[in-house]
Amino acid sequence: MDQIVDQRDFDLLAGDRYTFSVLSRVLHYPCNAVYTDHERLILCHTTNPYPVWLWTPDDLTETDCTRAWQLAQETCPFGRGFRYNMKYELADAMIRLAKETGLKLEIVTNMFAYDCPEAIAPAVPTEGRLYRCTMDDLEEAARLIDSFHEDIAQDRSSMEHCREVAAQRIENGGFFLWKNGQDETVACCSLNAEDGLGCVGSVYTKPEHRRRHYAQHLVYQVTNLAAEQGLMPMLYTDADYAASNACYEKIGYILRGKLCTVAAKK
């Protein structure tokens, strides 16, 4: 296995443009672990607390599954608390192979990948305005990122790490707030641009301000900003949150792919 990616890997990932857009993006930067055969298998772990990404082709074979399982156990073992994002076919094989060793795995998150060829204005109006964060908003942005991860009960880390993430997004012009009529921050989201995609993420509305369509209007306007930059807007959602998925679909997002997160049973 090679520990350096090249154009062959990005060509492979282009076939799963939406479901593995994050993997394609993070491979451009230093990561804790990267392994690839440039043909059938790419493994990448950025840093804790984030999951490991494990790409395999659609025409998955038993040999592919065995190699993926062995590589996972040698590099970022499930037994040490690592979680993996992968396709469902590989997840089924991983669960089976783990069981043979006495380890129990489970799917902990089901994810949908959407794109938005043309945004549709929200049918229900709301008050407020879009606001792009500056470095003066760093602390507020970091707290919102922390609250987002607490809300979804995943990938929560230190406030220092949240500040680093917030600073990077702000420096790239990609962290947005929705301010209500009283100029209070009520919701947030991010926008990452890479390889022609504008990935909308960290969509979060403060609990006391929910059910007022703030997030829908925020995502709609940020989606338009992405499109104006010549990017294809896309986002990931938790497939089990039907209400939020319906919200995105109403403003033009179309389901393009599915994947899941696998972890050891606690």
The domains located in the chain, with CATH, are 7-112 (no CATH), 129-250 (3.40.630.30)
* The pair of three-digit structure tokens given for residue 185, joined into one six-digit string: 């921050």
Q: What percent of the chain has pLDDT over 90?
A: 95
**Backbone phi, psi, residue 172, to 5°:** -85, 0
Tell me: pLDDT of 36 over 90.
yes
Task: Return mean pLDDT, the chain.
Answer: 96
Strand partners, 255: 114
Cα dist from 116 to 8, 57, 143, 182, 233, whole Å: 27, 25, 28, 31, 5
pLDDT computed for residue 222 by the predictor: 98
How many C-beta atoms lie closer than 10 Å to residue 247's C-beta?
Answer: 19
pLDDT computed for residue 15 by the predictor: 95
Question: Which DSSP category does 59 fall into?
Answer: S
CA angle 63, 64, 70 (to 5 degrees): 90
Confidence class for position 53, pLDDT limits 50, 70, 90: very high
Confidence class for position 97, pLDDT limits 50, 70, 90: very high
What do you get for the CA distance between the two ends of the chain, in Å? 31
Cβ atoms of 91 and 261 within 8 Å: the answer is no
pLDDT computed for residue 133 by the predictor: 98
Q: Which of 161, 181, 179, 157 is nearest to 169 (CA)?
A: 161
